[in-house]
């Protein structure tokens, strides 16, 4: 399992999930098979969510941004009515346990990363550079661009390969 190999130095840092992984975490919390059924998370498996949950819990704290929260909330609106309310409660619980950091939109749009990746991912890159946190993403363009910016980032697909 990947989380057993998480270096102690990383455990003292914060973790910042991109919106797609946060959605997977929330949808997966409904139980086995749920992440595979929801259209927005079908690229993930229940085991991915179980292992991601373990990894996130190993970090000292969680970060999030208003942009990630908004994107996650909007994508959860695609859930059927019976699950949408509960998903909203689970998102609220996540938000209450995370350090929500606002990165000014005016600051984000001045960066080259904004023009490449959009406001949410650009905000992740800026926050990761300004704070002691590590981004986890399954988004390959975000991963590669962030690496070039010397952002501390982990490709979730590299983690997955260790438990597949």
Average pLDDT over residues 133-144: 96
Residue pLDDT, tens place only, 3-44: 455 566 667 789 999 999 999 999 999 999 999 999 999 999
Confidence at residue 94, expressed as pLDDT on a 0 to 100 scale:
97
What is the rounded CA–CA span in Å between residue 136 and residue 69? Answer: 15
What's the CATH number of domain 2-160, 3.40.50.1010, 3.40.640.10, 3.90.180.10, 3.30.230.10?
3.40.50.1010
Enumerate the domain spans of the chain: 2-160
Angle at alpha carbon of residue 31, lines to 71 and 36, rounded to 5°: 60
Average pLDDT over residues 142-156: 94
Residue that is written with structure tokens 């950091």 in the block: 101
Q: C-alpha distances in angstroms, 82 versus 71, 76, 79, 90, 121?
A: 20, 12, 8, 14, 30
pTM of the model: 0.91
Q: Please count the CA atoms within 13 angstroms of the CA of 114 that sit on its side-chain side.
A: 13
Residue pLDDT, tens place only, 34-59: 999 999 999 999 999 999 999 999 99
What is the rounded CA–CA span in Å between residue 121 and residue 118? Answer: 6
Average pLDDT over residues 134-160: 94
56 C-beta neighbours (distance < 10 Å), count: 17
Residue that is written with structure tokens 């991963």 in the block: 143
Confidence at residue 60, expressed as pLDDT on a 0 to 100 scale:
87
Confidence at residue 5, expressed as pLDDT on a 0 to 100 scale:
57
In this prediction, what percent of the chain has a pLDDT beyond 70?
Answer: 92
């Amino acid at each position: 399992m990947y989380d057993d190999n998480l270096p102690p130095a990383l455990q003292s840092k914060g973790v910042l999930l991109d919106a797609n992984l946060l959605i997977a975490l929330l949808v997966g919390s409904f139980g086995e098979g749920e992440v595979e059924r929801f259209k927005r998370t079908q690229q993930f498996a229940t085991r991915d969510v179980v292992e991601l949950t373990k990894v996130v819990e190993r970090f000292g704290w969680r970060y999030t941004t208003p942009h990630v929260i908004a994107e996650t909330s909007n994508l959860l609106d695609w859930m059927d009515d019976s699950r949408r309310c509960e998903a909203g409660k689970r998102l609220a619980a996540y938000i209450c346990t995370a350090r929500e950091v606002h990165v000014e939109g005016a600051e984000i749009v001045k960066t080259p990363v904004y023009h490449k990746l959009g406001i949410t991912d650009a905000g992740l890159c800026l926050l990761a550079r300004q704070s002691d946190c590590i981004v986890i993403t399954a988004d390959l363009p975000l991963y590669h661009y962030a690496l070039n910016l010397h952002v501390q980032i982990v490709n979730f697909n590299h983690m997955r390969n260790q438990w597949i």
